[in-house]
Amino acid sequence: MNLVSPLVGNTEQPFSINRRIVIEFKWHRHSEVKMEKAKFIQQHLIEKGVPADLTRPNAFIWSKYTNVSQTPLVFQSLQKVFLTYGLSMAVIWGSLMWMFTWHSEPEHWKTYLISSAIFGFFMGLVNVFRIVKARKKLGEKSWENWCKKNYG
């Protein structure tokens, strides 16, 4: 049975079913190996005393859908974490508060906007504080240096 190669494009070259299965298996196996390695690193960080949510590349629930080979939060830039986490929390909190309570008095929208920004600011600071505390436990700030020190 001949199929068109999905890797070559529309060149109409014959592509055997066995070769396609091998390529798909290798691709799935490669992604499984990356997933296993990421899970191992996460478990190692947790054993070292890092909170579990700081071992993922993203602090939110959708982190399981992102690329697991990215740098864990504990080794990311503090400014980046502060901005992304703070802005996200401000938007989420402000939206929820608007839907449930603030919509009844829309004339105070400036106060609502400021309080959402303050909430996001403090939530960003809390996350940065947690990262600094975890880095002190690990004794390392750099992802590359930590990997070299622990995995050769």
Instruction: Estimate to the nearest angstrom the gap between the alpha carbon of 45 and the chain centroid.
Output: 15
Per-residue pLDDT of the chain (152 residues; tens, 9 = 90+): 444 445 444 445 454 454 554 444 454 455 556 667 778 888 989 998 999 889 888 877 665 666 666 788 999 999 999 999 999 999 999 999 999 998 888 898 899 999 999 999 999 999 999 999 999 999 888 888 888 888 76
pLDDT recorded at residue 37: 78
At residue 74, φ and ψ (nearest 5 deg) are -65, -20
Give yes or no for a contact between 56 and 63, defined as CB atoms under 8 angstroms apart: yes
Give yes or no for a contact between 125 and 82, defined as CB atoms under 8 angstroms apart: yes
pLDDT recorded at residue 22: 47
In the structure encoding, which two tokens stand for residue 119, read together? Answer: 């909430």
